[in-house]
Structure 1
């Protein structure tokens, strides 16, 4: 028997292709499938044992966000699905004045000293041009409220700081291959431009009980709504430096992207993190996430029905229930064309996270 109408069309398509593992759970008393105690050790097979799979193909970002909004109205209702108008002004200014394009981050090889000096000079030039242009453009906002002007100055300063940090990052690349934590820090700095407030995932441990088994989760980055009395997770992010399966070679074209080429450990870990955040998600019964692959971002969204979620928590057989994770192509935030496509979404998420209503 298939899931109720709360299951999306993509889930229904995947259901016909999905084959259950013989080691599925059959009861909470004697589970035949042993889940690891931390999602950092999950594999894709762990998700499949719970009836959770990644869609076959990516979807455009606007379609994913539309789905997020539709699902959230059934759960954690918020008053606005749109960003304030002045955030569109910020986005347009970024498209016009933040045109810096850095080489695609591919492979472990650090840049040479000469390359680093050239990149840093280009970043510094962009930083000064951006500041000067936005300083002149501030006159466009003179008719707006005092609060909006303050937001403008904060946005301008955060963007200026990100570009400075990006220059430091490029300098580090000339000495040795960078660690995962450095990419994570750069990503966090980038999100701050949009009024998003990132924190390290270890600051708040999430967990889920699957029958008698408990699994804990600490995503690399978490964005929690503020200043709500009961914090809700707006977004979680998982970052990787080495991320493709050994079975296939990476393609540089987003059109050729297939999330199933990522390693099973990445897919399993991220899916487990989404599942563990479900009970506190801002978008319940869905959970919004990102997979960050060096300088690229993949948006993900898990939708799992209440009936399916209860089945998972009780450790029962979920073979007739299917929940899917939809996702976008990778967006490289070092590339202005890709950045332009994600500005409005990031500003909207920043607005939701910091809104007091």
Structure 2
């Protein structure tokens, strides 16, 4: 009988202890959870594909008001006389200049005699036109493969010639796909991947090697958030680290035809969402850019068979502030224009003088609602320059960009050889 009360007492004590222990464990768990939240802030991941121009402008990235000439891209290099990190030189001289001229003449001659041309303003949207274009592609492939040969039989000329034939084969497949779609019971738009493939083959004519964007996702930390992007195509140097030459986005235009380029306004031709996304792609590509020491990163907007070359000029200081402070760069009007990090380790006075002149905006502050000026080459940090659209199937447009693309390709060849 005496054991029964004792037994009950033990059970009661055990129950009270268990209840107290549970409370302590719960409190401890809550405390640990709170601590972990404080010690490890949640990392938010966002994607450039969700950006608009508001996102870009909040970080101080603005498109210029007017188009710039393709020669502006040369000016970035000629100013530093080849003293950029990867040794891109403009103008090329001697054998390299002769090589470019010879390659341009070869490809121009072959396309003019045997190639496939699109009439200016013609979008190839009429189904009846496709069989004609398809036959032209077949003829071009046959003549170029069987009866036409490069006049110079060195590696660059043969590679460029082979690239031209490969391009027309891809164009033929593109036209076949378009014919099938136009005759289908359920017509649909040709996917942008088809235009990515076609433009890739066009770039190979110029000794360039495009890569699909998915092979290397770009990542950037902005404050406590991770920003990622996967562009449609990359152009990279053929070296082990594969730094970026161009980031390429294949997009749609708001207007049907881009042929009237005299009054071209990128804000009217391209949706603000696309412009914001491309600005984000350029920002993320800056850390991989071959031209980072020139405070530049190059891009291309591909709209069907038309291309717009873009260039983001941004100081290393501005880029660092974006990583550290995000939108506060604009909200707090931080001074982000600096010429001190242009052409690292350069002590030449003429280069330093040009650097100051090139980015002479130290006293200009960024404003969230800043309007771009009419001055074409103001070069404030965070400014995106762009050319008019060039349709690479229209001879007059293609001639304007061929030398530039061959210049990039020949410089890549030089760099690749020097790195071996």
Partners in 1 of 2:215 and 2:71 — Cα distance? 31
Q: CA deviation at 1:281?
A: 0.4
Aligned residue number for residue 20 of structure 1: none
CA-to-aligned-CA distance 1:68-103 (integer Å, 9 cap, x gap): 554796752415334522232111122223133125
**In structure 2, what is the Cα distance between the partners aligned to 1:269 and 1:75?**
28
User: More displaced, 291-300 or 256-265?
Assistant: 256-265
State yes or no: 1:191 paired with 2:198: no
Corresponding position of 1:203? 215
Whole-angstrom distance in 2 between the partners of 1:74 and 1:150: 27
Q: Which moved more, 1:68-77 or 1:345-354?
A: 68-77
| Gap change, CA 1:134 and 1:188, over 3 Å in 2 | same
Q: 1:88 maps to which residue?
A: 101
Aligned position for 2:279 = 271
- Aligned equivalents of 1:152, 1:74: Cα separation in 2: 28
Q: How many angstroms does 1:154 deviate by?
A: 1.8
Q: Is the 8 A contact 1:105 1:295 kept in 2?
A: no
Compared CA separation, residues 270 and 160, structure 1 to 2 (3 A)? same
Name which of 43, 54, 61 aligns with 2:70: 61
1:101 alignment partner in structure 2: 117
Counterpart of 1:239?
250
Q: Is the contact made by 2:50 and 2:277 (CA closer than 8 Å) also made in structure 1?
A: yes
Give the aligned partner of residue 122 of structure 1: 136
**Do the aligned partners of residues 264 and 106 (structure 1) sit closer, same or farther apart at CA in structure 2, a change above 3 Å counting?**
farther
Give the Cα separation in 2 of the matches to 1:167 and 1:278.
36
Q: Which has the higher contact order (CA 8 A, sep 6+)?
A: 1
Task: Name the SS of the counterpart of 2:238 in structure 1.
Answer: coil
Specify the structure having the higher radius of gyration (Cα).
2
Higher mean alpha-carbon deviation, 69-78 vs 199-208, is at: 69-78
The CA deviation at 1:353 is: 3.2
Q: Which residue of 1 is the match for residue 155 of structure 2?
A: 150
Match of 1:287 among 292, 297, 300: 297
Q: Deviations over 1:84-141 (max 9, x none)?
A: 222321111222231331256877x8542x4221111222333444456752x52xx3
Contact 1:225 1:231 survives alignment (8 Å): yes
| 2:218 equivalent to 1:213 | no
* Counterpart Cα distance in 2 of 1:69 and 1:276: 25
Distance of 2:81 and 2:290 partners within structure 1: 8
Q: 1:311, 1:295 → 2: CA distance?
A: 37
Tell me which residue corresponds to 1:24: none
Q: How many residue pairs align between the two structures?
A: 309
What is the CA–CA distance in structure 1 between the aligned matches of 2:126 and 2:80, rounded to whole Å? 44
Alpha carbons of structure 1 residues 134 and 81: separation in structure 2 relative to 1, 3 Å = farther
Aligned to 2:179: 174
Q: Is the 8 A contact 2:306 2:389 kept in 1?
A: yes
Is the 1:222–1:235 Cα contact (8 Å) retained in structure 2?
Answer: yes
- CA distance in 1: counterparts of 2:129 and 2:158, whole angstroms: 32
Q: How does 1:15-26 map to 2 (within 5 A)?
A: none
Judging changes above 3 Å, is the alpha-carbon distance between structure 1 residues 213 and 75 closer, same or farther for their aligned structure 2 residues? farther
With over 3 angstroms needed to count, the CA separation of the structure-2 counterparts of 1:133 and 1:305, relative to structure 1, is farther
SS in 1 for 2:46: coil
Separation in structure 1 between the aligned mates of residue 291 and residue 257 of structure 2, nearest angstrom: 32
CA distance in 1, matches of 2:176, 2:77: 38
- As a proportion of its length, which structure holds more helix? 2
CA distance, structure 2, for counterparts of residue 36 and residue 338 of structure 1: 40
Q: Distance in 1 between matches of 2:73 and 2:52?
A: 24
State yes or no: 1:225 paired with 2:237.
yes
The 3 A distance-change label for structure 1 pair 134 and 283 is: farther
The alignment yields a C-alpha RMSD, in angstroms, of 2.6
